Structures are given as structure tokens and as C-alpha cells.
Chain A
Amino acid sequence: MTELLQIDHVSRNFGGVQALTDVSFAIRQDEIFGLIGPNGAGKTTLFNVLTGVLPPSSGHIIFAGKPLDRQPPHRILQLGIARTFQNIRLFSGMTALENVLVGQHSCTRSGVIGAILRNAATRREEAQARRHAAELLDQVGISRHSNTLAANLSYGDQRRLEIARALASQPRLLALDEPAAGMNPAEREQLRELIQQLRAGFNLTVLVIEHDVKLMMQLCQRIAVLDFGELVTVDEPERIRQHPRVIQAWLGTET
């Protein structure tokens, strides 16, 4: 398996606080890769560094052979990394369909002139974008809500819509920030199935941050454990389960 994403000695500090210290690991093509760790372990910081929201204090991130150093978020998306947010960030005043259309921004071209003249090329692009958006909504299972305002969707459907919006940019790596937060066990199970289904259907590589260790053990091929901003280990779920520091620092108290 080839490596799609390499985190190479990444550190990040905020003032005097060291949020990430010399973290290195790699995510392979086509795998579902988990990132776990207690609160404050630096998971979200790593996520923000990866997606260009924060620059790393030192170190590099290499995606598909290209360095991502100091690229702004929209560039990172264009390079093929799409993300969701821990506390859902949909465009709440737009319909579900429109949210997914915005997600296709980087795959579409038409500008002001096209918008005003609405020429054949623009109409074709728009029609195609709408078709594609409808398909995506169908694939995440909320096609019946395509004309509902995002704000009026149920919590679980909002999570699904956010995934559809991220998929709309045709990413190679889908990064999910606590996608199961606030879901009940049944919804979590459905979410796990959805992620696995999407991974296969779209040839995706998936990076997931989650608190729910049980879910992660079932979902991921490999898991990285962060604690106090440092990488504890990267391994397969069964071996993670037996890792002494993981048991001591985290699993022991959680289960």
C-alpha cells in the first residue's frame, strides 16, 4: 500500500503551551485511519494544522507527494483533502442541496459573466452540479430532505449533510472530526456503515477523530493514539487495545 499522507515531525505551540510535539505518522491509500486520545491530547489541533486552519510551528505535511506547507484551507481542499467539523458548520440558511452545491465549488468554473448571461455552458454545468448533488444526498441517505433548510434538519442528518458537502469536492482524503458526537448507539452503527460504504464507493482514504473507542475499533484499519500532544503509538486496533500506555492512560478509565 502506498502512503497518501505523511505527517512529518509536526509541532504546534500556542504561546507557551505545546499542543503538538514532534508528531509523525503516515496514512496509507484506501485505509480508514483513526485518531484517538483524551480531551486536550491535540487531536483537533492536528486536524486544524492538516486542513490549513493553523500553520504548524515546525514540521511538514506531505499529501500525495506534495508538501502542504502554509497552504490556505481552500487550496488544501483543491489538493484533495475535505473535512467536516466537530461542531457542525453547515450553511444553515441554505437548503441541503445548496450546501452540497457549495461543496462542488472547486469542481465548477462558471463566474459572473456566466451567471448573468446563463449561457449554454453555465446551464450545463449547473444542471450537472445539481444532478451530482442530488446523487450525493441520496448516497448519504437524506435525499428526501434536499429542499429542507440545513438548520431544520435533525442532528444526525446534519452530520450526514456535512459529509455529503465534503464529498462534493471529490476528495482523495476525507477527514471527519468527531462525526459520531451526540449520536445514540443505533445512529453510530449506521454512521459506521455509511463511512465504510462511502470509502469503498468513492475510493476514499478516511481519517477519523473520535472519542468512541468501540466504534473506532470496528471502523478503522489502523489507529494513532495521541496523548499530551505526543504520539503514543500507531497500530492495528487489536494491538492498540493491548498497548500498556493506552490501557493506562485511557482505555482503563474509559471502559
Chain B
Amino acid sequence: MSHSRRSAWSTYAALAIGLLALPFLLQAGIGRSWVRIIDMALLYSMLALGLNIVVGYAGLLDLGYIAFYAVGAYVYALLDSPQFGLHWPLWAVLPIGAACAGLSGVLLGAPTLRLRGDYLAIVTLGFGEIIRIFLNNLNEPVNITNGPQGICLIDSVHLGTFSFSHNHTTMLPGLTGPVQYYYLFLALTLLVMFIALRLQDSRVGRAWAAIREDELAAAASGIHLRNFKLLAFAMGATFGGLAGGLFAGFQGFVSPESFNLMESVMILCMIVLGGMGNVYGVVLGAITLTVLPEALRMLGDWQLNHLGHVIVDPNDLRMLIFGLALVAMMLIRPAGLIRSRRHQREYAGDRP
């Protein structure tokens, strides 16, 4: 017993050291750009964990999830850039962005959540497009979003005078901007994972699971369907808004093009690939689908170097492969890479 405990602890310790050392290893090994890629992977993990509450826990297919990411990102961008000359502190901007996203989740959810699942999917998809159309066009008559050009020169994520974008290599060799963001995002991702796990194993999480499995039986067990669906929607949207704010500060630039339908579908892919409902699977899915396109990009470079020109642009192939993967996953391994016990039956075509 004490032996297995000790080995568990040493596994955790190794994992922690590995995670802490990872950005330095990447930076030294294959270059700083890969640290940025991992940073993005962590951002997507947070997003996917948020959507997982909606889709994986409560079983509500939301195809416009990226809109909440956009709300968080634009709130940060507007409150922390030369656009309005505002430079609010992080502790105010991030919660405001998350709250705005959560609120828009409630506003969208309140009228639509009594609809059946597939209708909800289409309405959310429409909502995502509406948000994008507004972001694209709210540059006149009053310039709010700066239209398709987007907003640039956004302040970096900063705490007091500490900016996460500035290098602090004098403090510690190799402590570059991307590395600092890595630690910030890692901490927040772990926090979101923690929250997601706690929620799953609670009265609230069981109510969501009950709604997902059988709405009528859930209602007959005393669960207020609309309130709990709204709660899932709002929680998911809040995480989306949080990730969006971080994204704006990290990139320094936002434009409507970052928030199109394909992004929503991508995040859905991450969940489906990793295993709907399973927190670790979702993170694995998010990391896989962020890193994979970058690996594919190397395939393009390889063609350029060895064949003289690019025959098939891997960027074009990327979404094609995702689409095929989505179909194949549903047909072959509907429970995802890491199976969630609860979902095995549900997505495997349940006939008792």
C-alpha cells in the first residue's frame, strides 16, 4: 500500500517536473515557435474544457461556442488597447470578459434551451455567425470593433508592471515571453481542469448527466431542466470568455476571422476525439489537434525541400483530415480516445 502510494507520488513529481521543464526543453530543442504552439494548445484546452461542460456533461450540442471566446477576446481588446485608449488592469478585464461571455450564454440559452437538441445546434450555429457578422460590421457609423481589420496593439497580459510578453532573461536564462505565458496558461488550465472534475462529481454534475441521458426521467427526478441547462451554458460560456481574454492579450491582435464556424467545429472535434465528457481526454484532444496541423506544416516544408515545390498544401489537407476523423470517430470509436465510462453506451448506439 505505502509502496504503491510512493510510486504514485513519484509519478506525479515526474509529471510536474516534466511540465515545468517542457518549455525550456522545447525552446532549446526545436525553437521558440513551438513554445507558442504549446501555449495555444493550453488555450484551446481551456476552451475545450468549457465546451465539454455544455456538450460532454449536459449533452447540449453548441455549434456557436466560439462566439463566447470572441466576446471574451473583444472585451479584453476594447478595454486594453488604443482603440478607446483604455488600459484597464488584468484583474478587472478578465472577469469582465468572462462575465460578459457568461451573460451572453444566458441570453442565448434562455429562449432556446427548451428546443430539442438538433435545433439547438443550428440556433447556436446561427448565433455564432451573427456575432461574427456584428464584429465585422460594427465599425460604422460608430467605430467599435474596427470591422474586418480587427483591433491591434492590444496590451499584453500583465500583472502590475510585470508583462508576460516581455523577456525576463536577466532574471532566469531562457525566461522568454512564450515561456511565461506557458506557466500562466498551464496554471489556469489546471485550475479549469480541477473545476471541471469537481463539477462532474457533484450534485450539479449528476443533474447534468441525468439531463443528457434522459430529460423526461431527469425532470421526473426533480431536476429543473431549464435552469440546469442554462447553468451548463453559462459555465461553458464563462470559460470560453476567460480563454478569449487571454488569447487577446497573448496575440496582441484580434479580428473577426479568428472566430469563424470552423473554429467552433475544431473545438467540438477536440472533445469528440478525446472522448466526450472525459476531462483528460478533452485536454489530450485539444493538444493533439493544435499540434497536429503544425506537424503537418512541416510536411509542407519537407515537400518544398525535397520535391522543389508544394504538391499538396498541408493547410488545405488539415480540415479535410479533421472532417474525416470526425466521421471515422463516430463510426468506429464513438467514445473517443480516452473513454468516459458514462458515454460508452450512449454514443455506441444504445440498444439494451
Contacts and interface: CB of A to CB of B under 8 A. Distances in A.
7 contacts: A74-B222, A89-B216, A93-B343, A98-B206, A102-B210, A105-B207, A105-B210
A78 B352 contact: no
Contact of B214 (A89, A110, A126): A89
Interface string A167-196: 001000000000000000000000000000
Interface residues of A, number: 38
Interface of A: 51, 53, 72-74, 77-78, 82-83, 85, 89-94, 98, 101-103, 105-106, 108, 110-112, 114-116, 118, 122, 125-126, 129, 149, 151, 165, 169
Contacts of B352: 92, 151
A121 to B, nearest CB: 12
With a 10 A CB-CB cut-off, give which of A82, A102, A122 has the most chain B CB atoms.
Answer: A102
Interface residues of B, number: 33
A90 B352 CA distance: 12
Contacts of B213: 91-94
A108 B209 CA distance: 16
A115 B205 contact: yes
With a 10 A CB-CB cut-off, give which of B218, B225, B344, B350 has the most chain A CB atoms.
Answer: B218
A93 B345 CA distance: 7
Given A73-B216, A92-B345, A102 B223 contact: yes
Contact of A74 (B223, B231, B342): B223
Given A92-B345, A94-B209, A116-B198, A74 B225 contact: yes
B325 to A, nearest CB: 24
B156 to A, nearest CB: 29
B235 interface: yes
A122 B203 CA distance: 9
A91 B223 contact: no
Nearest to A103: B221
A141 B345 CA distance: 26
A115 B216 contact: no
B184 interface: no
A98 B210 CA distance: 10
Interface in B224-278: 224-225, 231, 235
Contacts of B344: 93
Interface string B339-352: 00111111000101
B204 A112 contact: yes
Which 5 residue pairs are nearest across A and B when measured between Cβ atoms?
Answer: A106-B222, A115-B202, A73-B219, A93-B342, A89-B217
B312 interface: no
Nearest to B206: A102
